[in-house]
Structure 1
Amino acid sequence: MRRLLCIVAVLLLPAVMAPAQERPAPEAASGRRQAAEAVARHEMVVAANPLATRAGLDILRQGGSAIDAAIAVQMMLNLVEPQSSGIGGGAFILYWDAGQKLLYAYDGRETAPAAARPDRFLQPDGRPMDFAAAVVGGRSVGVPGVLRALEAAHRIHGRLDWAAGFQPAIAAATAGFPVSPRLQRLLEIDPALRRDPKARALFYTPDGPALPAGTLLRNPELAATLQRIAADGADAFYRGPVADAIVAAVRGHPDNPGDLTHADLADYRATTRPPLCGSFRLMRVCGFGPPSSGGIASLQILGILEALGPAQPGPVTPEAVHLYAEAARLAFADRDAYVADQDFVRVPVDGLLDRAYLARRARLIDPARSSGRAEPGDPPGRRGLAPPAGLGLPERGTSHVSIVDRAGNALAMTTTIENAFGARLMVAGFLLNNQLTDFSFLPERDGRAVANRVEPGKRPRSSMAPTILFDASGRLYGVAGSPGGSAIINYVTRSLWLILDRGYDPLAAISLPHFGSRNGPTELETDAPAEWQAVLEAMGHTVRRLEMTSGLHVIIRGPQGWTGAADPRREGLALGD
């Protein structure tokens, strides 16, 4: 495979770290929640399932690098958390190579098949398809990319053989693993997965219900697939029997067939992109640029908050929630207007992150009153662009992995099959993505082409926000990311803001009830304080309370080494040495 090396060194900020502030106690922020936290001197893995975390740490203990461990984590997640990610999906990987002092960004996002057309999700009458009707079946399946991205990163950064990372998942798929309570619940409530014969045979009892939590589940078909890929590399997925099975399942779906071909699979390439870095206070915050909107929106929110004034350490007040929500509203307005796959659409990235532009946006915020809804701004460089990208539909079947190894390398990988259980198509022991529903269903708006419309070979816009932090001296400071669809942007940015601006430790930041806006209602997690809602409504906010099941996995450097925290809302675990 070609190695496309587009590498950007992380720029260092000539500044001095601010003195440490007293941090809110985790129990004060978390209420009834108990988050999973670990402190380790040398290396740390945080992932969404204990079996995946342990698989990654075992690889580190064998002398593997962060990318070697990530391969083990991803393969195990495919087995034990199949609703969220796997080899049938895609990923964005940020990788800090401590030896080279370079930050790499590997784009393993799925692509539209060569036969895809802008009207893919339109009904005969020209109206958009219902989301559920579009998701289930072959129509929504994009060309998977996670294996090519892992392979590209492993070629440069791997210390162990490629096959080493596959062995824990192969062993667990063969011997069996206990079905987790979360997997059981999601299997039980999903209305469509049972209609796939392979999925029904694997995940459900003969009389219909999902396998009970604790049931030993074996997946020998996945074990065989992983053995092929371990032995022959990613080519064993993109060509041969596995590729045959993918094409047959997609094109042969009885109700909603797709058009993915053998050539689409064989031609897929992961690519490297320039990491997207900006400053916040005395930190360097690095994320992923287009086709993800996560990095741009996160840096915009932080930049607007910085423009509003100095850091204010201490517990979150309703007034602080107001300022955060208004900053997020502005960032989401720009996201929806300007961000799509920049291989197809010119995105004014520099203009959107221009400090003077963000200062102008910050001046739109009334400290005492909500704007209700923000309009996109006029960033430098926007002239001559395509019209707005259009509203997409968010990733929901997603996971995040944060890793630091003892050599100081770090990985932030957000990985997804889009909706929970993807397209509800199981082949060769794994599920296929429905990533193409992240494109705009409407190809035109006001007679003009929408930037995030479906096009052959295009990557749909994402909200994933893997993030790596550096302190003022250029040292690795932290790793963060989350699943959660378009809410990922607020989950990650709010947590970084709490840690960097208000002095929260990772456990407290993750556990605090979520808040934010996606340029609609101001959203509060169901257990957020009643005072927040009362004050916000008095300031003109329309408040919506909802379940906000993030999956934040954060690692932060501290006096004792690395502190890792896994979101208490899911089943994750942080472990290290």
Structure 2
Amino acid sequence: MLHHWKNLLPLGLLLLPLSAAGFRYEAPAISPETESGFEEKPGWEAETFAVAAANPLATDAGYQVLKAGGNAIDAAVAVQAVLGLVEPQSSGIGGGSFLLHFDGDSVQAFDGREMAPAAVGEGLFLDDNGEPLAFMEAVVSGRSVGVPGTLKMLEKAHREHGALAWETLFTPAITLAEEGFKVSPRLHQSLASDEALRNDPLAKAFYYQGKDTPVATGEMLKNPALAEILRQIAQHGSNVLHEGAIAEDLVERVNTHRNHPGDISLDDLAAYDALIREPMCTPWLQWEVCGFPPPSSGHLTVMQILGMLDQKAMLEAPLDNGAPSGGWLHQFLEASRLAFADRNRYIADPDFVDAPGGDWNTLLAPSYLAKRAALISSDKSMGNEAKPGNPGELDVSWAVAPSQPEYGTSHISIVDADGRAVAMTSSIEQAFGSRILADGGTGLAGGYLLNNQLTDFSFVPEVDGKPVANRVEAGKRPRSSMSPTLIFERESGELMGSLGSPGGAAIIHYTARTLVALRDWGLNAQEALDLPHAITLGDHVFVEAGRFPEETLDALEDYGHKITLRELTSGLQVIMRQDDGALFGGADPRREGVVMGD
């Protein structure tokens, strides 16, 4: 599939690296935002380029890279490096990522997902009696740490597409780590509410200053250990994390953990390779939506939901009093239940699990989605009775995996001046990952957090004698919900937008609802992100507290949905091209992100 961009420069001009002198970073005077959990944001317009990220300091780093002549990939490297410093609870060099890149002609999917060590097996999260560990017991342990992939993935993408020198792209993060940054309310609140992180000696000394009280909002925090690690990565590349002293430190911290030590090796780190996969691009009326293939379940599940909704006649107007209506939400939630039932049976690492019928697109076939949509009642919820369908033949009969929690992540969207674009979702899984802070053996204060992504595998390897597709296996990448998305106009092939969100399994709902709001409801990027959320992962429906009219909640209960009010803290970032060719970006009002551009 080719997507042409009218302003594409000759390829040779894109690949000429600039010297370090071509980029002069200036640390901005950005103060933490308010303590509000929902802060109205204006949306941002830009003529030529834009970058959206979860923290203003990270957004600014990408903006400065683009101003200096860098492209979308260059900006993504700089943004992610800063996010690992200022939003360590969500992502960083100790985790994994999926990145979609549009180079003006075609889309590539860069897979930096973590990988299970060679020594682990199906019983990784079972106790001595063969019973699954409690979820948090598994998270806060050495067993949960997968071989990280974010750096390897970014380096591979940069080698193929970068314009600025790799070394220069870490300047913002190194500068902020050395000079300090103001702790944001979100970081402070995350530290205050997490009991497990302070049990790690390095983390307690750094983030709690050896006490029980976390660093305060607005306090200047320096991270000299991370500055030194990033300096080595800038100079010598991603192998710094996968070989030598920093790798040895990672292995030691995982394998000597006080709670269920892991079994990761230097060979695991050295053998890791980021992959380039074929993106999944799915027609959706006037748009073509490109997303990530398995091991992500994001694109398949999002497009199943949207495909089923397109098969159903609308029960009532989709919006009511500035929120999705009860009738629309009923259909959306029911489609979600059916899509998640398929997800929990079929989707896993494609190097270990075959697609139904040999092609993942069998799950998106219109005839199949029509059959699934016919199961949605116009007046009654199916509750937790949704069953997987049969989209195609299978060599192995997979069991439906039991539900278990998913968390975390951060999202970056970028469109550069030449029409190239990035949608990148990055994660260490839970807030603060495995709660293991590694200083790379530097002996300096601070460092980076290790992921707990292996808990994205099913703890239970089989059900009723049938294997679970997403069970733990050596060298396997755990299934993810991350849904980085690029949108194109089908007729012209022109880039329309970039979007994605954190939020664990709810990423799928957040992304699907946002796509509907953008395409069908006439909302701009910011208006779409301001809408309240409602999700379901099976039985109960979780509704964003204080955001829906009472009559909408009453309507959902009349359909038979079991309502639970809670915070649904998405972190959506969206950049869309408007009819006049300009860009308009939105950042989720529930988080600290902003959009910057010219």
Question: So what's the TM-score if we normalise by structure 1?
Answer: 0.92
Task: Tell whether the 8 Å contact from 2:297 to 2:482 is kept in structure 1 after alignment.
Answer: yes
Measure, in 1, the Cα distance between the counterparts of 2:89 and 2:575: 24
Task: Tell whether the 8 Å contact from 1:313 to 1:501 is kept in structure 2 after alignment.
Answer: no
Task: Tell whether the 8 Å contact from 2:317 to 2:328 is kept in structure 1 after alignment.
Answer: no
Measure, in 1, the Cα distance between the counterparts of 2:194 and 2:245: 29
Q: Deviations over 1:264-309 (max 9, x none)?
A: 0000001011111112221101111111111100010111111114
Measure, in 1, the Cα distance between the counterparts of 2:290 and 2:390: 21
**1:329 deviation in Å?**
1.3
Task: Tell whether the 8 Å contact from 1:108 to 1:146 is kept in structure 2 after alignment.
Answer: yes
How do residues 106-185 of structure 1 correspond to structure 2 at under 5 angstroms? 106-185=110-189
Say if 2:508 is the partner of 1:486. Answer: no
**SS of residue matched to 2:428:** strand
Task: Tell whether the 8 Å contact from 2:415 to 2:422 is kept in structure 1 after alignment.
Answer: yes
Aligned to 2:9: none
Aligned to 1:197: 201
C-alpha change, 1:144 and 1:393, in structure 2 (3 Å) is: farther
**1:448 deviation in Å?**
2.2
Q: Deviations over 1:293-337 (max 9, x none)?
A: 111000101111111148967553211111111111111111111
**1:342 deviation in Å?**
1.1
Aligned to 2:436: 425
Measure, in 2, the Cα distance between the counterparts of 1:313 and 1:530: 16
Output the amino acid matched with 1:192.
A
Say if 2:532 is the partner of 1:526. Answer: no
Task: Tell whether the 8 Å contact from 2:400 to 2:463 is kept in structure 1 after alignment.
Answer: no
How do residues 3-18 of structure 1 correspond to structure 2 at under 5 angstroms? 9=2
Measure, in 2, the Cα distance between the counterparts of 1:538 and 1:550: 27
**1:254 deviation in Å?**
2.2
Say if 2:483 is the partner of 1:465. Answer: yes
Output the amino acid matched with 2:325.
T
**SS of residue matched to 1:42:** coil
Say if 2:330 is the partner of 1:322. Answer: yes
Measure, in 1, the Cα distance between the counterparts of 2:56 and 2:157: 24
Task: Tell whether the 8 Å contact from 1:394 to 1:463 is kept in structure 2 after alignment.
Answer: no
More displaced stretch, 259-268 vs 365-374: 365-374
How do residues 396-435 of structure 1 correspond to structure 2 at under 5 angstroms? 396-428=407-439, 429-435=447-453
Task: Tell whether the 8 Å contact from 1:94 to 1:466 is kept in structure 2 after alignment.
Answer: yes
Aligned to 1:333: 341
Task: Tell whether the 8 Å contact from 1:340 to 1:389 is kept in structure 2 after alignment.
Answer: no
C-alpha change, 1:41 and 1:11, in structure 2 (3 Å) is: closer
Measure, in 2, the Cα distance between the counterparts of 1:51 and 1:285: 30
**SS of residue matched to 1:78:** helix
Measure, in 2, the Cα distance between the counterparts of 1:122 and 1:533: 40
Measure, in 2, the Cα distance between the counterparts of 1:142 and 1:389: 24
C-alpha change, 1:186 and 1:33, in structure 2 (3 Å) is: closer
Task: Tell whether the 8 Å contact from 2:341 to 2:400 is kept in structure 1 after alignment.
Answer: no
Say if 2:211 is the partner of 1:211. Answer: no
Measure, in 2, the Cα distance between the counterparts of 1:268 and 1:570: 33
Question: So what's the TM-score if we normalise by structure 2?
Answer: 0.89
**1:52 deviation in Å?**
0.2
Output the amino acid matched with 2:570.
S
Aligned to 1:287: 291
Say if 2:579 is the partner of 1:573. Answer: no
Q: Identify the match of residue 498 of structure 1 among 517, 533, 538.
A: 517
C-alpha change, 1:389 and 1:417, in structure 2 (3 Å) is: farther
Q: Identify the match of residue 278 of structure 2 among 274, 277, 300.
A: 274
**SS of residue matched to 2:383:** coil
Say if 2:565 is the partner of 1:554. Answer: no
Measure, in 2, the Cα distance between the counterparts of 1:48 and 1:36: 16
**1:400 deviation in Å?**
0.5
Aligned to 1:4: none
Task: Tell whether the 8 Å contact from 1:36 to 1:568 is kept in structure 2 after alignment.
Answer: no
Q: CA RMSD in A?
A: 1.8
Output the amino acid matched with 1:558.
Q
Measure, in 1, the Cα distance between the counterparts of 2:554 and 2:588: 27
**SS of residue matched to 1:93:** strand
Measure, in 2, the Cα distance between the counterparts of 1:392 and 1:425: 26
Task: Tell whether the 8 Å contact from 2:49 to 2:597 is kept in structure 1 after alignment.
Answer: yes
**1:177 deviation in Å?**
0.4
Aligned to 1:51: 57
Q: Would you say how many aligned residue pairs link Structure 1 and Structure 2? A: 550
**SS of residue matched to 1:455:** coil
Aligned to 1:542: 562
**SS of residue matched to 2:289:** strand
**SS of residue matched to 1:373:** helix
Q: Identify the match of residue 92 of structure 1 among 89, 93, 98.
A: 98
**Which runs of 5 or more structure 2 residues have no equivalent in the other structure?**
6-36, 440-446
Measure, in 1, the Cα distance between the counterparts of 2:281 and 2:390: 18
More displaced stretch, 381-390 vs 446-455: 381-390
Aligned to 1:222: 226
**Which runs of 5 or more structure 1 residues have no equivalent in the other structure?**
1-7, 13-30
Aligned to 1:262: 266
Percent identical across equivalent pairs? Answer: 49
How do residues 367-446 of structure 1 correspond to structure 2 at under 5 angstroms? 367-388=378-399, 390-391=401-402, 393-428=404-439, 429-446=447-464
**1:444 deviation in Å?**
1.4
Measure, in 2, the Cα distance between the counterparts of 1:458 and 1:378: 25
Aligned to 2:67: 61
Aligned to 1:361: 372
**SS of residue matched to 1:106:** strand
Q: Deviations over 1:97-125 (max 9, x none)?
A: 11xx1100011000000001100101111
**SS of residue matched to 1:116:** coil
Output the amino acid matched with 1:551.
G
Aligned to 2:41: 35
